[in-house]
Amino acid sequence: MIIKTLGTRGSNFNKGIDYELYGQETTSFYAKSKDSNILVDCGSGVSYIIDDLKQLDKLNILLTHVHFDHIVGILSLISNMPHTKISVFGLGTNGKSLKETLRPFVSMPYWPIDLSECPNVEFIDIFEITKDNTFMLNDVKVSVFESYHTENALIYKLEDETDKVCFAFDFNHKDGNLNGWFSELAFMPVDFNKKAMVDEWSGDYGCGVKYF
């Protein structure tokens, strides 16, 4: 499985030389296996590979949660990929389904047309998934786990025939609930770096992930 980092910043994107190494775009990772193309979250960084994504017949999007910095890239996708089948997986919030939760962001006054009026609407599917669930996206096994960040936040583990990768964004570790998963992953060295972004809420310095 090939993993490409498209964005790691929280809250909002920032341009400029001070952010070239760490933290320009909001959260999104692209995972490519032999038979699957998957975005884990859909932040502003998806614009970097939109031309490549246009060539796909099918794209899967796994949303960890529906904060705007994790979904803003969906607007680019539905506007620029009229012939690609897009499947979006996740959970809604505030008692609403995922589709009901996303619709306000893809409609007036925030967007010029409603989701139902998009030219590729027949190619867009939105699926509500459950915590502690497992399903297949072609050759990739997706395991879903409850996160601790906001209501209905999720963590994903992706497995193909050679690799396992865990995505836990904006995650607050609680009661050792991820220890078992981390023990399955080969090696996860992380650099603390004072040039990395500073979290707007906690004031904590970010870090640069060298490799998985």
pLDDT at 90: 94
Task: Measure CA of the first residue to CA of the last residue in the chain; give whole Å.
Answer: 11
124 DSSP 8-state letter: E
pLDDT at 211: 37
pLDDT at 16: 64
pLDDT at 190: 45
Is the whole-model pTM more than 0.85? no
Check if the beta carbon of residue 45 is closer than 8 Å to that of residue 6: yes
- DSSP string for residues in 151-209: TT-EEEEEE-SS-EEEE-TT----TTTTHHHHHHSS---EEE-TTS-B-TTT--B-EEE
Which residues does residue 125 pair with via DSSP β-bridges, in sequence order? 87
Radius of gyration of the chain (CA): 17
Per-residue pLDDT of the chain (212 residues; tens, 9 = 90+): 999 888 877 666 666 666 566 567 888 899 999 999 999 999 888 988 888 988 899 999 999 999 888 998 888 787 778 788 899 999 988 889 998 888 888 777 777 777 676 666 667 888 999 888 899 999 999 999 888 777 788 999 999 999 988 888 877 666 655 555 555 444 444 444 555 556 555 555 554 443 33
pLDDT at 122: 64
For residue 136, count other CB atoms closer than 10 A to its CB. Answer: 10
pLDDT at 39: 95
pLDDT at 120: 61
166, HSE (Cβ side, Cα atoms, 13 Å): 18
CA distance 19 to 44: 14
pLDDT at 137: 96
Check if the beta carbon of residue 170 is closer than 8 Å to that of residue 199: no
Name which of 129, 130, 103 is nearest 118 in CA terms: 103
